[in-house]
Amino acid sequence: SLHTEVVEEGMLFEQKRVWRMIPKPNDTRADWRVQYDSCLVPYSFDYEKSKRKEKKFHTHVYYSELEKLCVDDWKVYTYDGNWYTGPEHCQRVDHFLNVSINAILKYAFQLCINWYPQTEGVDSTKWFKFAKDIKLFPDIHKPRRQAQVDLAFKRQLAAQNERREEKLRERKVQRDDGQPDRRLNAEAFRGGIQELVMIRYPHMADQPEEAMRVMAMDYLVMIPEVNGKTWTEAKRVAMVAEGLRQCAAIRIQCWTRTIQAVDAYRIALRAAILIQAEIRRARCSMRYTRRREYLVGDLVYRIRWGSAIICQMCFRKYLAIKAYKAKVKAEHDEYMARVRARRAKQAERRTRRELSRVFRRVRHVNGTNCYQEMYRKNPSRSSVNNDFAMLIRVYVPITQRTFKFELDDDQVRSYLTLATGIEGMSNNELLAKEHLAHLCDRLMCRHINKQPIIYFSRRTMGERGTQVARRGVNISGRRFVATIYWANDEIVFHAYDTANSQALRTSVTMVTLRAWLFKEEKATRKAEAAKLKADRAQARKTLRLKEMGVMVEDEKVEWAIKVLTEKAEEKDEGGEGGEGSSGGGDKGGGKGGGKGGRGGGQGEKAEAETGDAAEDEDEEELEVFTVVTRGSRTTTGNSGASTHGTAVLQETAANAKARNGAGGGDGPPSPDRSITELVEASLEDTEDGEEDILSGSGGDPPMLREERRKELLSWLIVRLHIAPYKSGPLRGESCLMLQNELEGDLEEAAAAKIQGLARMYKARQKLVQKIKDIFEKRYDAAAAQYYYVNTKTGELFWVKPKALGTDDLTDPPDEWREMIDANDGSTYFMNPATGQVSWLSVDEAACAIQRMVRNHLAAEIGRPTMKQMIKALRIQREAEDKFKQFPNRLSSLVNWAMVLHTQNFDFDQARALYKQAAEISPENPVLLRAQAIFMLVSCEPPRQVVFKRAVDMLRSADIRDPKREKFKIAEDSLFHWAVVTNPTDHRALLNYAVLMQGVVKDFDMAEKFYRRALAEAPDDRYVVRNYEDFEAQRLPGGMYAGGGPSINILKNSEVSKESIEWGEWQMMVDKKAKDAKFAHFWYNKISQLTKWEEPDWVEAWQIRIGRSEQTNNFGQWKEYWDPGLKCTFYYNESTDTHQFKNPYDSHEDDGEAEPLALEAGGGGGGSEGSPGPLAISDGKGADSGAMVPYGE
């Protein structure tokens, strides 16, 4: 309470508000908080009859329940020993600061416009009154402050008019009245308040939103009209937060109950399984005992006799196996002793041989791979420093033959002296590996009958053939001394590295060299043919451009004619020289030679000189030519340039004829030939020219001739390379090879790489297929992702096997599989596609689903609890006995009358008892409701009078028992119990339908039970008459009016009118309506809502914008996508205009209909302030007949 309490000194205060003990100067609470703490903010129940609900976690809580939970809890925070406890539910005071500033400003704006006189905006008078009422400026009475307030109003009004003018200019529309606005709209009102706030809080200029919040919480919310709405909004925010908590609690309780039920079911199931297993075990034990007693006497002897035979046979088999193993072991031991002795001798010989070996290597000898070893012939200690005789062993892997060569001490020393040039070598120098290698270099290989034979050359020259060259060269960046040996069948190259005294060798056979030269020559001719083809194509293009009159440089024209006439000259000259020589010249007389060669009979030198001269001349001419693009000009004026070009063309052709002479029929063109004929002739000669270049003379390549040997050797030396061995024991060491060998190695490496990749690809495919056969993909519903199972090992993985790469296993089939629990061996069922797990089989699940369906069908009736069933049976059993004992008692009369009415359906006796009870207590709420239901069900005449009297009785009962607490027992134990026990009895269904209609006020449920009763007894006059009256009273103006028509009327109706502007709303027509004025109604196809009155189109558009998604922003216009209607519309926030036509689409005025824009705030086709329909025109002045609602 707020009164002052006087207490005695030393009294202990408990459960008191702390703030009441704070001195007022030290109290820093906001005014709204002081008002709340002083209990001056009443708590109202605004959602008591609302069906609105908060949905979270797949459950919901009604706002009416949340409103009761969030009621103000005035208990202060108390200390219970461990912590401070506060209110259990969300309070509106805790969410007061979460109220949107826009909502508070909206409430303030509505307050201003509702002041007398009511206007659509805020004029200057209301503005100044509002500034004084909020008490934002303590010195508002001063002229300077009043001027600031007035200036803020004028600036915002001017900005508002400017925005309006700009929008009208964009629409190209003139004002209707030509006068500017004199009232602020909501947007300008907010701007004015923002400006006043900045004046009041200049230190918060960089935080305008925070300043607005401070002003709103300190001043605006203290206005009584705004304060009430703000506290209502705070309560709604608290209810939303509490709804989240309540839904979470409901869901957790549901999960807990589910887990408990499953655990109980599993325990019961396990117990049943154990009991059954124990019974089966006992029965099997009994059957086994009886069978054993029966057979023991008959079979015991046979078992013993057979067992004895088996034991004897096993013993004899054991003795035979033991003797055999002993014999085999003795033979094996003897054999291993001989093997060890032989291996010891071999090891001794190998050791002696290894000690005497001084050199070994693997080397190609004339193209044959060999393994070379060198041993001391006399490795004894006495001659180790005196006798250096050597034994050379050469093993050829191809034929698996070994060749041996013996060298005495003198031969070894003489050969090494010749090879190294060192006289009197020491013992260490004689045994140096780089020196001993010279001895193995004398090995040579010859093929006799296709078999390689190794022999030792005792001549001073280490290679067969003639030494033709010896020079110092750079090979792969290193300095070598190269020696070349020329034989009839091969050319051998020796390269001596002066840096590390290393000698390298390689060779090339004549067959390989000839093929190599042919390949190089073919590549060169192919490049020349490609160049000739490109030149002729460019020349033809140039002449065609000239013929079409395009400006082309004279030098380009001369070059094009020369290129195209070159073929004719080659043919002419080739015919003259063809008689003297058939194969002269390397390339047919240089660049100008034909098939017969230009100067074939004059020798190689003359041909080379002629070819070089022709090439030099061509190069000089080609240096002058440049590429000319279409439209380029060399002189001023098109006619002059064309005349000059024609003269140059004729002069060039005449000079060519004079230079070439009078040839054959295919000679060069005359000056009179046109450009077209020249181009066509060149097209015919193109293929012949390419064949001339690509065709070569037969026989050996020119570079294999004797006179060009030096050129060939130089060509080969340039193509020597140093590269490492790719494989073998010498892998990584340097070797000498030619260009063709290097290219061949690269090709082999590329082929090996490709083959390796191919094998890798096949192996990977095989691995992927094996993984797909072993692994299986399953879905985990808890983690919302797939996991992978190894079906052989049972291992589980969250990630797929890496070997799959970008591939993945196929999705599992949607089927139920029987699985075994690894923990207890129990059977359960799993769906790999959905991740669902169930202990029920398919049949058990089907039974459960059927049971749930039956429960769902019976959900409308409901299932009473055990306590309710016991109470109902007790009341029905005791009602008659108590009536007989106390026939004049009110409770006995009413209870027995309701039993006769609802259970026995004895209307005559029930009517008499109701009248008798009414005489005793006519105002009893239980009697009033029961008798009213009976009067409606029995259809007592006159119907209209009785119906009105029954409704009045129900209203009186609602006044005396508004929450139906006194009638709850009768409702559950008699009316509801009758429907539960007799769900097909039309009289019980009719009683319950009238109960829902008159007492509970649940009209939808009443209609369902009426329809059930009609389905059971369609011709019963009581059911038909009550249902007709119920339908008539649900119409507008009836006793049960509100909402829209019933579901039954909706199902029998059809669409009358619909428009894209209406969105989800449709106008329906009931052709079976008894009254024509109630034939039409409105239906929302998204929310399934029906209404008699026209929808609120402003609210409809707000709902549509709320559920839509913004897809584009065109400035003032924004494009939205409505997922409910599957369409696009456009919204202008500044003018609050909606339309379905893109406002920026350009179109001509061709008679098509212009898009209709609906303004949510404008007046319509009715009277001022009332909504009315707006007819959409087809753009031609005629009314199309489609009606579009136009909201206020």
Q: Residue range 62-87: average pLDDT?
A: 67
Cβ(69)–Cβ(212) under 8 Å? Answer: no
Residue 138, pLDDT score? 83
Question: Does the structure show a pLDDT above 70 at 336?
Answer: yes
At 374-407, the pLDDT tens digits run 998 887 766 667 788 999 999 999 999 999 999 9
Confidence of residue 569 (pLDDT cuts 50, 70, 90): low
Cβ contacts of 853-862, under 8 Å, gap ≥ 24: 858/983, 860/1005, 860/1008, 860/1009, 861/976, 861/979, 861/980, 861/983, 862/976, 862/980
Task: State residue 668's pLDDT score.
Answer: 40
Structure tokens at 93: 């005071």
- Is-contact 1139 1129, C-beta < 8 A? yes
**Residue 1134 has what pLDDT?**
82
**pLDDT for position 1051:** 77
Q: How far is CA 1025 from CA 129, 781, 1029, 1031, in A?
A: 62, 54, 6, 10
Q: Given CA atoms 185, 188, 190, 196 in this order, what sign does their dihedral have?
A: negative
728-733's contacts with Cβ under 8 Å and 24+ in sequence apart are 728/362, 729/362, 730/361, 730/362
Residue pLDDT, tens place only, 907-935: 999 999 999 999 998 889 999 999 999 99
Partner residues linked to 447 by β-bridges = 452
Provide the total of helices (H) and of strands (E) in the chain, helices listed first.
31, 33
Least confident of 95-104, 690-699, 1028-1037: 690-699
Does pLDDT of 625 surpass 70? no
The position carrying tokens 């260009």 is 739
The dihedral built from the CA positions of residue 710, 712, 714 and 717, taken in this order, carries a sign that is: negative
Contact 191, 151 (CB under 8 A): no
Least confident of 263-277, 506-520, 595-609, 897-911: 595-609
pLDDT above 80 for 628: no
Query: Contact at 8 Å (CB) between 698 and 681?
Result: no
Q: What is the pLDDT of residue 678?
A: 66
Nearest to 157 by CA among 177, 182, 176: 182
- Name the average pLDDT for the chain: 79
**3 state SS of 984:** coil
| Confidence category of residue 544, pLDDT binned at 50, 70, 90 | confident
pLDDT of 698 reads: 54
Helix (H, G, I), strand (E, B) or coil at 482: strand
Going by pLDDT thresholds of 50, 70 and 90, the confidence category of residue 464 is low
User: 287-326, pLDDT tens digit by residue?
Assistant: 988 888 887 877 777 888 889 999 999 999 999 999 999 9
Query: By the 8 A CB rule, do 1065 and 1103 touch?
Result: no
In this structure, are residues 995 and 971 in contact, taking their beta carbons and an 8 Å threshold?
yes
In 10 A of CB 188, how many CB atoms?
A: 23
Report yes or no: 704 and 712 within 8 Å, Cβ to Cβ. yes
pLDDT given for residue 2 in this prediction: 40
Token reading at 693? 């270049």
Which residues are CB-neighbours of 531 under 8 A, at least 6 positions away?
A: none
Say which residue the tokens 């007022």 belong to.
24
pLDDT in tens, 948-993: 899 999 999 999 998 889 999 998 889 999 988 888 899 999 999 9
**Identity of the amino acid at 1104:** R
Transcribe 358-396 into DSSP letters. Answer: EEEEEEEETTEEEEEEEEES--SGGGTTT---EEEEEEE
Mind listing the pLDDT tens digit for each residue in 748-761?
889 999 999 999 99
Query: Tokens 């291992």 identify what position?
Result: 795
Strand order in the sheet with 490-497: 466-475, 478-486, 490-497, 502-509
Distance CA 649, CA 641 (A): 12
Q: What's the predicted TM-score (pTM) here? A: 0.34
Once rounded to an integer, what is the mean pLDDT over residues 454-465? Answer: 69
Range scoring the smallest mean pLDDT among 653-657, 863-867, 1027-1031, 1170-1174: 1170-1174
pLDDT tops 70 at residue 1127: yes
If one counts every other C-beta atom within 10 angstroms of the C-beta of residue 510, the result is: 14
Residues 6+ apart with CB under 8 A from 533: 686, 689, 690
For residue 1052, which amino acid is it? N
Calpha distance 583→829 (Å, rounded) = 91
Statement: residue 76 has pLDDT above 60? no
Give the burial class of 192: count Cβ atoms within 10 A of its Cβ; 0-12 exposed, 13-18 middle, 19 or more buried.
buried
Contact by Cβ (8 Å): 1128, 1111: yes
Among 603-607, 870-874, 1168-1172, name the most confident range: 870-874
Other beta carbons within 10 angstroms of residue 1079's beta carbon come to 16
| pLDDT for 248 | 92
CA atoms within 13 A on the CB side of 888: 0
Edge to edge, the sheet with strand 1137-1139 lists: 1109-1113, 1117-1122, 1127-1132, 1137-1139, 1158-1159
In the prediction, which pLDDT does 256 show? 94
> Given strand 827-830, what is the order of strands in its sheet?
817-820, 827-830, 837-838
pLDDT (0 to 100) of residue 1184: 33
Is 550 in contact with 630 (CB distance < 8 Å)? yes
> What is the 3-state secondary structure of 1149-1179?
CCCCCCCCCEECCCCCCCCCCCCEEEEEECC
Please tell me which residue, 636 or 320, carries the higher pLDDT value: 320
3-state secondary structure at position 111: helix
Structure tokens at 248: 């979470």
Spatial neighbors of 838 by CB under 8 A, at least 6 apart, are 816, 828, 829, 830, 845
Measuring CA to CA, which residue among 725, 681, 658, 726 is closest to residue 540?
Answer: 681
Residue 1188 banded pLDDT, cuts 50, 70, 90: very low
DSSP assignment of 229-261: HHHHHHHHHHHHHHHHHHHHHHHHHHHHHHHHH
**Residue pair 972/870 in contact by the 8 Å Cβ criterion:** no
Residue 1061's pLDDT band, with cuts at 50, 70 and 90, is confident
The residue type of 630 is R
**Model confidence over 477-534: pLDDT tens digits?**
889 999 998 887 788 898 988 888 788 888 888 888 889 999 888 888 899 889 988 9
pLDDT value, residue 585 = 37
Q: Residues 1020-1060: pLDDT tens digits?
A: 999 999 988 888 887 777 777 766 777 777 777 888 888 87
Residue 1050 in contact with residue 1056, Cβ under 8 Å? no
Return the amino acid letter for 148: Q
Q: For residue 340, what pLDDT is reported?
A: 94
In what side-by-side order are the strands of the sheet with 357-365? 357-365, 368-376, 390-396, 401-407
Q: Which residues contact 1188 (CB under 8 A, 6 or more apart)?
A: 1059, 1061, 1062, 1156, 1158, 1173, 1174, 1175, 1176
**pLDDT tens sequence across 206-225:** 888 888 888 888 888 888 88
In terms of Cα–Cα distance, which of 59, 52, 63, 49 is closest to 239? Answer: 63
In the prediction, which pLDDT does 5 show? 53
Q: What percent of the chain has pLDDT over 90?
A: 21
Count of Cβ atoms closer than 10 Å to residue 506 Cβ: 18
CA–CA dist 897, 917 (Å, integer): 9
Provide the token pair at 983. Answer: 């769900």
Residues sharing a CB contact under 8 Å with residue 166, sequence separation 6 or more, in sequence order: none
276 vs 653, which has greater pLDDT?
Answer: 276
Residue closest to 368 by CA, chosen among 342, 390, 394, 392:
394
The predicted pLDDT at position 75 comes to 52
